[in-house]
Copies of this chain bind each other. A is one copy, B any other.
Amino acid sequence: MVLDEIPGFWAVVPAGGAGTRLWPLSRSRAPKFLHDLTGSGRSLLEQTHDRLAPLAGERVLVVTGEAHRAAVRDQLAMLPEDAVVAEPSARDSMAAIGLAAALLERRGAEVMGSFAADHVIAEPERFAASVAAAVAAARDGWLVTIGIEPTFASSAFGYIREGEELPGHPAARRVVEFVEKPSVAVAEEYLATGQYRWNAGMFVVRPSVLLDLLAEQDPDFAATLRTIAAEPDRLGELWESLPKIAIDHAVAEPAAAAGKVATIPGGFGWDDVGDFDSLATLLGGADTCSVLGDPALTQLIDASGIVVPGSGRTVAVIGLDDIVVVDTPDALLVTTRARAQEVKNVVAALKQKGRTDLV
């Protein structure tokens, strides 16, 4: 299947987030999106670009932290110089995506779609089809979110509640509401209704529509973003005044309440690779031992889980099921898939000890 470019469509890639639950692979200096977490030979950022380039061509805008601008440019060297925008500091997703919207509004972009740099998608063609359907609805003025078909009752994601069909857009539905991460029991109820989808933060919208929706909630915020786009030299001066708020709270939730949000179903094998447990599932599933790296560096006897031989050293594991072993040049993690969420506690403890060199 050859994917067609979508005329007037710009891909926005917010490349942020620390990924502390993937320590010691992911570090503040080299976060998750810069790493090849699937053994494909491509980083998550590169894979994100690989997915979007057929749809957007060179119309790609990456928003990342100042500290990562060089690494992002290295990995995406084919993009024009102005395709990578550096935030002076991390100010959450509304500022990052809003800045992209303001810049693209001035560049005359018809529709933008924002897709995180650190997610994994199994079926790029089906992803492209969802994006194309979302762009069609966005052209009609909707704020469109791609709602991921849930595969289990996760308590790690927010949910989108679907409503009626959208006239003229057979695949689309209205969004009744966005709901915060539920308990597993509540998530099970959601799944039983068939009306809920995971919120993966994928928004497709006309740049002006997004900024106008923001202006309805916070006129200064939208105005400041448009000022920065008009006078890029003032980025450093104005950036720190922007509120730290997620796009979901700033725009998506109030817009949904006002009946202005639509959703397109996404059934393309999505994973946000939140921790080593989900990475183990992604790479191999149960009862196997996935090796992310060179298998010749491992000696495994009765082991299952995930082993990352990431320092060139030989890693031997004997008699451990659902184990997580992550070997890097300066730090080693040993835990279980079940406790993988707690890796962030190690990062917190190291920070407290002043070992910022390790986090």
Shortest Cβ distance from A208 into chain B, in angstroms? Answer: 48
Q: Which residue of B lies closest to A299 (CB)?
A: B346
Comparing A25-33, A104-112, A330-338, the segment that makes contact with chain B is: A330-338
Assess whether A116 is interfacial by the CB under 8 Å rule.
no
**With contact pairs A325-B334, A332-B327, A334-B334 given, residues A349 and B317 touching in the complex (Cβ less than 8 Å):** no
Q: How many residues of A contact B (CB 8 A)?
A: 33
- Given the interface pairs A301-B342, A342-B301, A350-B299, the reply to whether A317 lies near B335 with Cβ below 8 Å is yes
Q: Which residues of B contact A67 (CB under 8 A)?
A: none
Look across to chain B and name the residue whose beta carbon is closest to the beta carbon of A350. Answer: B299
Nearest chain B residue, comparing its CB with the CB of A328:
B313
Report if A126 contacts B (CB, 8 A). Answer: no
A342 to B299, CA, bound (A): 12
Within A332-359, the residues touching B (CB, 8 Å) are 332-336, 338-339, 342-343, 345-346, 349-350, 355, 358
- Asked whether A319 is an interface residue with its Cβ less than 8 Å from the other chain, the reply is yes
* Closest B residue to A335 using CB positions: B318
Distance in Å: Cβ of A114 to nearest Cβ of chain B: 34
Question: Using an 8 Å CB-CB cutoff, how does the interface string of A289-321 with B read, 1 for contact, 0 for none?
Answer: 000000000010110000000000111111110
Copies in the complex: 2
A320→B345 CA distance, assembly (Å): 15
A331 nearest in chain B by CB position: B314
Interchain nearest-CB distance for A323 vs B (Å): 7
A333–B316 touching, CB < 8 Å: yes
A19: min CB distance to chain B, Å? 16
Q: Which residues of B contact A318 (CB under 8 A)?
A: 333-336, 339, 342-343, 345-346
Q: Which 5 A-B pairs have the closest CB atoms?
A: A319-B339, A318-B335, A316-B346, A314-B331, A317-B334
**Chain A residues with a Cβ under 8 A of chain B:** 24, 299, 301-302, 313-320, 323, 325, 327, 329-336, 338-339, 342-343, 345-346, 349-350, 355, 358
